Structure 1
């Protein structure tokens, strides 16, 4: 049963990372788009947090530190992206998105 839960968490992490990667081309400077992007970012980061927590808790001792470091790097990047979205600056958001995209690619590569 635990294996099924961990596979589900890994799948959701990949799915959320993929979804977040897809929002990069959607930068449109209108109020509704900014609100939608911010809401989507916060929702996906909540799922990511819960699933990373489950994965780290269940990981073997030697895998906990690398997973924790990856999660910390991802959430720091998402927080900076969220701040940029709240500022509604297209250049800043694009810059933070590009930084986050590199980490999201790394997350997708690390998940089984």
Structure 2
């Protein structure tokens, strides 16, 4: 026995049009193409055969590319020749006359810094540019900002150190000694600023005074590199 309200409901359902079935969509899997970068010469870039990979394989390849393999294996980055996977080597210094006689180096030198190998003209421009930038840091010397000033000064002075070394090597015989004298005055001043601004001494008035003396030498560098 059907209830009256159910009977009316069945009648309504019978009058509704049938929903047509949509055609089945077939998804095609796109193949991935791996571009090889095994040669430093860009003219030798080559395209390998299409490679079909699953989601798991793709994730595995991506993770290897990002983090590399273990220290005992060979990472992919070491095979292409386009970037360095180890620590940057310390550039060699040809002119020992610009080092500190007591230590044989300079205390402000920061290792692991990439220094672009430029020609003589561009090295002079970079020295002039850095000498122009550094005097502005004198206004930032204070209890809360001294560490940032020291880090910035150390980075810039490291590049200037290697630039002076290359300029001296490329200079004419009569120009070498004036460049050596100017470089030593600048680097001695850099080391003095670093020492008085160290965490042990933390002498802000003396640091400001040393930096003012450094600004005078930086102006001489700008004039020399003009």
Q: TM-score, normalised by structure 1?
A: 0.90
Give ranges in structure 2 of 5+ residues lacking alignment.
1-117
Runs of 4+ deviating beyond 2 Å: none
Instruction: From 175, 182, 196, give the equivalent of 1:63.
Output: 175
**Mapped partners of 1:58, 1:89: distance in 2:** 39
C-alpha RMSD over aligned residues: 1.2
**Over alpha carbons, which structure has the higher Rg?**
2
Q: TM-score, normalised by structure 2?
A: 0.46
Tell me, yes or no, if structure 1 residue 28 matches structure 2 residue 142: yes
Which residue pairs with 1:16 in the alignment? 130
What number of residue pairs does the alignment pair up? 107
**Mapped partners of 2:120, 2:141: distance in 1:** 33
**Mapped partners of 2:212, 2:204: distance in 1:** 12
Give ranges in structure 1 of 5+ residues lacking alignment.
none
Between Structure 1 and Structure 2, the one with more helix by share is: 1
**Mapped partners of 2:196, 2:159: distance in 1:** 20
CA deviation after TM superposition for structure 1 residue 45, in Å: 0.8
CA deviation after TM superposition for structure 1 residue 28, in Å: 2.4
Tell me, yes or no, if structure 1 residue 6 matches structure 2 residue 82: no
Q: Which range moved further: 65-74 or 82-91?
A: 82-91
Map 1:32-47 onto structure 2 (within 5 A). 33-47=145-159
Comparing both chains, which one has the higher relative contact order based on Cα–Cα distances under 8 Å and sequence gaps of 6 or more? 1
